[in-house]
Amino acid sequence: MPMSAKPRYMQLKELIINQISSGELKPRDRVPSENDLVGATGVSRMTANRALRELNNEGYVERVAGVGTFVADVMAASHVLQVKNIADEIHERGHAHSSAVLRQGRIRAAGEVAKALHCDSGDDVFHVVLVHYENGVPIQLEDRFASAVFAPDFLQQDFTSVTPSAYLSAISPLQEAEHVVRAAMPDAETREHLQIDENQPCLIVIRRTWAHGAPVTFTRLYHPANKYELAGHYAPPGTVKSTTADTIVLRNIK
Amino acid sequence: MPMSAKPRYMQLKELIINQISSGELKPRDRVPSENDLVGATGVSRMTANRALRELNNEGYVERVAGVGTFVADVMAASHVLQVKNIADEIHERGHAHSSAVLRQGRIRAAGEVAKALHCDSGDDVFHVVLVHYENGVPIQLEDRFASAVFAPDFLQQDFTSVTPSAYLSAISPLQEAEHVVRAAMPDAETREHLQIDENQPCLIVIRRTWAHGAPVTFTRLYHPANKYELAGHYAPPGTVKSTTADTIVLRNIK
DNA sequence: AAGTGGTCTAGACCACATT
DNA sequence: ATGTGGTCTAGACCACTTC
């Protein structure tokens, strides 16, 4: 009965998306099979198939023939503009990653930070500053704020072994991301931490991520402009099946 | 008869993609309807429907209920990392766009340019340099090289009325794009053209686009870093139906 | 053997555009 | 009136994994 405004496959999709968004279904959880949906909702199998197939194409779930359908892992994986872990990027280049934590604590949100995280000035948020090294060369200063309610164990983490990005991704899949890329001259402190040459700018990536409809992290990433650049490649869908979104990664210049 | 390696809907998709890639089907051309495919290939309508529906999701075609299916316009439109026309961006902000052509001619490809366009050193390529102004303020220096075989009328265009980007998009839909974002100090000439303050870096976007499997343009875009930034937003598929890829636009700071 | 996803069929009804 | 896409059904066969 296509009386209802929305088609049935769409209703099924929204049903499952809501369960994922609310946390009712967590990453790696099993999603109702096509036959489950047929039995539970009375649709035909083709309709259930379309719902799950589209959720798969959109990155919400993973399907394995003969096994089942599962909530997509970690995050909408390669979807969110390749929010790749800096440590993974470095390891993929065959280099050694290390990092130093300059600060890890609690801070009162104010101004830009409060605005970015949708909280009131004076609210407690977590704050971590660390420098990432590639083969001992500093390549990124990470200045990150995280909502306290979202990541209660934030202060107990050892961010030299698991990056903040990896830790936060493990807590909950990110659902939305906002990026800003800027160029600017570094201040004295940044220049020292990144060992930036005199008169060299830095490339700044500002990122905000959402989970469950609310912003959870606000991060500023500073990179020495003469050593690193952002690279992105887009190929038409279908040629590569892995992702529908563009991928952008930080890479060495030259 | 699912004897063939590839599923039939996939074969149909590839058939149509090939016709688009080869230029046999041009933007706005009518694509065979579902019933056409049923009659021509003997598949069921559901199979033809899936092929065309997926091509639509992937941006190759546009479908209009009651009318027909057509090759997607201009380019995989919003797909290629929102390769938006700078003039359109400025107009969307309600501002006035103007531009000045500094150079428009033929040049022998060499070094980086030859490599980027996959042609031999010494081959002729077109070269245009122009400055774009927003309300009279210079915001972008465009340094563009275009394959001569791809755009034979390049030298006859008036790029102050139609930007090179718009002109090239109209010739053929772009199929692949590569971006690099860097920060660097401008050289003296660039600083003068963009009226960049002393000691201010610029944000550089380097873009290469493909059509029909070969690179056709290679462009360097320089922006005053204290006035402009790149902003991108990613929302999960399904929430917004327009595009599956991220969108990144140049925008004012503050 | 049972369950899963992957695909395909041959019908069907609908809302909508064009003619 | 015809053709279009949009959706849905109730079956079917297959390859695969798990038990």
pLDDT surpasses 80 at B238:
no
Other Cβ atoms closer than 10 A to B4: 9
For chain A, percent of residues with pLDDT exceeding 90: 51
DSSP E strand boundaries for chain A: 30-31, 61-64, 68-71, 97-108, 124-134, 137-147, 176-184, 202-211, 214-224, 228-234, 247-252
Mean pLDDT (whole number) for B211-216 = 81
Between B246 and B232, whose confidence is greater? B232
Tens-place pLDDT, residues A204-234: 988 888 877 788 899 999 999 988 887 666 6
Contact present, A34 and A56 (Cβ < 8 Å): no
Taking the CA of residue A7 and the C1' sugar atom of nucleotide C15, their distance in angstroms comes to 13
- Residue B67's nearest nucleotide, by CA–C1', is D4
Question: Collapsing DSSP states into helix, strand and coil, what is residue A187?
Answer: coil
Give the per-residue pLDDT at B124: 92
Give the per-residue pLDDT at A112: 87
pLDDT band of residue B245 (cuts 50, 70, 90) is very low
Query: Per the confidence metrics, is the pTM higher than 0.75?
Result: yes
Q: How far is B228 from chain A (nearest CA, A)?
A: 8
For chain A, percent of residues with pLDDT exceeding 70: 83
pLDDT surpasses 80 at A245:
no
Mean pLDDT (chain B) is 84
Between A167 and A3, whose confidence is greater? A167
Residues of B in Cβ contact (< 8 Å) with A227 = none
Give the per-residue pLDDT at B236: 54
Spatial separation of the C-alpha atoms in residues A216 and A113, rounded to whole Å? 11
Between B236 and B238, whose confidence is greater? B236
Mean pLDDT (whole number) for B64-77 = 79
Count interface pairs A-B at CB distance under 8 A: 142
Mean pLDDT (whole number) for A57-71 = 92
Sign of torsion over alpha carbons A8, A10, A12, A15: negative
Between B238 and A103, whose confidence is greater? A103
**If you write DSSP's letter for every residue of chain B in order, what string do you get?**
-TTSSS-HHHHHHHHHHHHHHTTSS-TTPEEPPHHHHHHHH---HHHHHHHHHHHHHTTSEEEETTTEEEEPSTTTGGGTTT---HHHHHHHTT--EEEEEEEEEEEE--HHHHHHTT--TT-EEEEEEEEEEETTEEEEEEEEEEETTT-TTGGG--TTTS-HHHHHHHHS---EEEEEEEEEPPPHHHHHHTTPPTT--EEEEEEEEEETTEEEEEEEEEEETTTEEEEEEE--BTTB-S-SS-EEEEEE--
Q: How far is B16 from chain A (nearest CA, A)?
A: 13
- Residue B32's nearest nucleotide, by CA–C1', is D4
Tens-place pLDDT, residues B150-208: 888 999 999 999 999 888 877 776 667 777 888 999 999 999 999 999 889 999 988 88
Tens-place pLDDT, residues B96-126: 999 999 999 999 998 889 988 988 888 899 9
Would you call B184 and A226 a contact, using CB atoms and an 8 Å cutoff? yes
pLDDT surpasses 70 at A253:
no
pLDDT surpasses 60 at B20:
yes
Tens-place pLDDT, residues A94-144: 999 999 999 999 999 988 899 889 888 888 999 999 999 999 999 999 999
Would you call A181 and B175 a contact, using CB atoms and an 8 Å cutoff? no
Give the per-residue pLDDT at A214: 82
Mean pLDDT (whole number) for A64-71 = 95
Give the per-residue pLDDT at B51: 97
Tens-place pLDDT, residues A190-204: 999 999 998 999 999
Would you call A183 and B183 a contact, using CB atoms and an 8 Å cutoff? yes
Protein residues closer than 7 Å by CB to strand C: A 2, 31, 33-36, 45-46, 49, 52-53, 56, 63-69; B 2, 7-10, 42-47, 50, 64-67
